Structure formats: C-alpha cells, structure tokens
Amino acid sequence: MLGAVILIVVLFGVSQPILSNLQKEHKWLKAGLLNQMYWYHMFFGLVYWTYAQFNRSDSVNYFFSYRNYKNWSSAFEPGTLFIEWVNYPFAKWLGFNYDMMMFFSTWIGYWGFVYFYCFFKENLRFNAKFEGWDAITIFMFLPNMHFWTASLGKGAYIFAGIGILTYGLSWPGRRIPLILLGGFICYMIRPHILFAILVGMGVGFVLGKEKVPVYQKYLVALGAIAMSIYVYEDLLTFLGYDPNNVLASFEEETGLNAQRLQSAGSGVDMSNYSLPMKLFTFWFRPLFIDSPNILGIAISFENALYIYMFSKIISKDFIKYIKEAPAMVKMSGVVFISISISMTFVMSNLGIIIRQKSQIMYFMLFVIVAFMDWQKQNRIRKRGEIFNRIVEEERRKLEVGIGD
C-alpha cells in the first residue's frame, strides 16, 4: 500500500501543470476546488479498494490479465481487452502492483470530473443554485458518481473519455487533440456511447441557435454521420447483435436477459414495462422502498436529487427553450435520451443500471441547469425591460413638465 500512497502524491503533482494550463484558458476555473475534488475522488478510490477486499471485483482480473499475453499489442482490441491493454505496460514493465494500478485508474476517472466541470462552466452564464449552494459543485461531488469511476475497470476510463470528448466538442476547432483522445477512449470501451455522441453532435450543430455558416453546420453533421456509419457494425458486434439480422438477434438477447433475472439477486423484470416506466427505472431507481442494501439506500438519496432536478423541466417554458437551445444542449439531450432508451432494453439488473447510468447523468443535469440558466437570463432581461420603461415614462413626464 505504501507504493500506492507515493503514487497518489506523485499523481497530484503531475496534475498541477495540467490544471494550470486549463486555468490559463479559463480565468474562472478554481484550481483549489479541483484539487479538493482530487483528494475527494482519491478517498472514493480508497473506499472502492476496501470494498474490493471483501467483495468480488473485476479489477483483480484486469490487473493480473497481463500474464495472459505474450506482448502488449495482443490485447489491443475494443471492449474489456482495452482495459487489459492499458494495464499491461504498468504491471509488466513498470512494476505497478494491484494497489497502485487501482489508484492510477482512480486518477484517470478524476479527469472526467475535471473536464465535465469545465464543460458546465464554459457553457453556462450564471451559477445555478440548489438551496443556496452552487448546483454544479454539488453535481461534481455526488458520491455515486465517484464510487463507480474510482477503480481499475471500464467505468473510470469511459467516464474520462466522455468528459474529455464532450469538453472538446464545446470548441471543436481548437480542441481537436482532446476530441481525438476522448473519441478513441469511447470507441475502444463503449462504441455505442461514441455512436450516440456523434449523432447528438450532428443534430446539435444543425439545429443549434449558433450563428455559424450553414455549410459548417452541415459539414459537422456529415462528419458525424460518416463516423457513425463507420462504427455501426463494430457497435452491433460489441453489443452481441448480428449486423445482418439486427431485429432477430435483439429479440434473442432480450429473451436471454429475461431468463437471467431468475438468478439475479437485484434483477428488475422490465420486459412488461412501458417505455416511460423503463426510463424511470433506469434514471431514478433504486429508491428507498426498493433499495437492495445499504449502498442502495445511499444511492436513493442521489436518485431523489435527480428526481428533484428533473422536475425543474416540467414546464411549458422548457419546450420553448429546447427549440432555441444552443448546440451543446441539444447534443446533450440527444445523447442522454438515446443511450437511456437503448440501455433500458438490454439491462435489467439494478447493480448494472446504477453503474452504467453514472456515465451519462451529467448530460441530463447539464440540460436542466442550462434551462435554469436561460430562465434566469429571461428574468433579468424582463426586469431590465421594465426598468427601461419606467425610466422612459419618467423622462416623458419631465419633458411634459418642462414644456408646460
């Protein structure tokens, strides 16, 4: 464990120049807050490490997988093997032990939070408040988000990839390296998430309110469609479907999921649920009445917050806002809805649902706080219009008085 402690300190030092460069680009960035987030996330790395000592964890298999390969390149494939490919040089050549590799992966997951924080702050004008507290800061410190992204496994890496890619897409012309890095990570671990982000990006840039040349919007959309077509077959293969007979293989997989429920301790049979109920289950369960254990009760508090935040968009103003929303909001909405719908048909275990939804919940939260940001701008604009009218009326009265 001593090696892991030393590594945590070293990685903190390595993080500082990266945060400094981000702070140069964004004067509003609070490096102190992100440093606090670093130690907070490392604490959850310790929590997960402790959890793995008493419960079965895939992290053990990921770490010792390097023994199964003759060379590094043999593990370079999408999916689970990609994590084994990342693990190989550290375990084989640099002598990292299991503890060190766990906390190195925790560090990778940390960057997902950094780049999502920058994405939120960069695209919002005001600080949304939750009971007087900065909502974005609260979102960045949600325990469940940190727990599932703090171990050696796909969760930490895919979350970092999504965060980096999303931040890069906020300014694609200046952040091509980040887009390539984030897109590469997403493709290698979860092609369906990259597929959804590419589709969302295309929709967002075409329908967004940004005043950019039409040809640029359609170039971006065509690029997203082309990339989507490129990953389509790999996506279906990754999900276990036959590219030549998608419908039949989808029905077969759905039937298998229903059978697996018979032996799943935290299974939820959603086969007879309506789509709205499936989505509710995916987004907001477990709640207090159906929490399978103490961890489920803790997660229920977070799900209650999601329900509260979701209630903010149940307004006729939201329809108006979505019509004129910027590209990144529309992209986030498409990504969140499309991935949610697809996952409800292939997942039926609460444990897996809890883990998987942590990868996309920030997209929903971004849409909500962006809507709240828009509402606040409208209120300020209306107050300004009222003030200007009052000033104009008083000016007219003075002019009339002087004329008399």
Give the rounded percent of residues in the chain with a pLDDT score beyond 70. Answer: 80
More confident residue, 99 or 238: 99
Q: What is the pTM of this model?
A: 0.85
Concatenated DSSP letters of 45-73: HHHHHHHHHHS--HHHHHHHGGGG-SSGG
Q: What angle is formed at CA 66 by the lines to CA 61 and CA 69, rounded to 5 degrees?
A: 120
Question: Among candidates 232, 2, 8, which has minimal Cα distance to 105?
Answer: 8
Q: What is the pLDDT of residues 91-121, one digit of tens each?
A: 999 999 999 999 999 999 999 999 999 999 9
Q: Which pLDDT score, from 0 to 100, does residue 125 have?
A: 83
More confident residue, 114 or 80: 114
Q: What is the pLDDT of residues 28-50, one digit of tens each?
A: 888 889 999 999 999 999 999 99
CA distances from 202 to 175, 223, 224, 334, 368 (A): 17, 8, 5, 10, 21
Q: What is the pLDDT of residues 49-65, one digit of tens each?
A: 998 888 878 888 899 98
Q: What is the pLDDT of residues 371-387, one digit of tens each?
A: 988 988 888 878 877 87
Point out the least confidently predicted range of 135-149, 216-230, 345-359: 216-230
Q: What angle is formed at CA 240 by the lines to CA 239 and CA 243, rounded to 5 degrees?
A: 95
3 state DSSP class of 287: coil
Q: What is the pLDDT of residues 243-271, one digit of tens each?
A: 454 444 444 444 444 444 444 445 566 66
Give the rounded percent of residues in the chain with a pLDDT score beyond 90. Answer: 32
3 state DSSP class of 134: strand
Residue whose token pair is 């029905």: 251
Q: Which pLDDT score, from 0 to 100, does residue 256 have?
A: 44
Q: What is the pLDDT of residues 307-328, one digit of tens each?
A: 999 998 888 899 999 888 888 8
CA distance 49 to 1: 11
Q: What is the mean pLDDT of residues 115-131?
A: 85
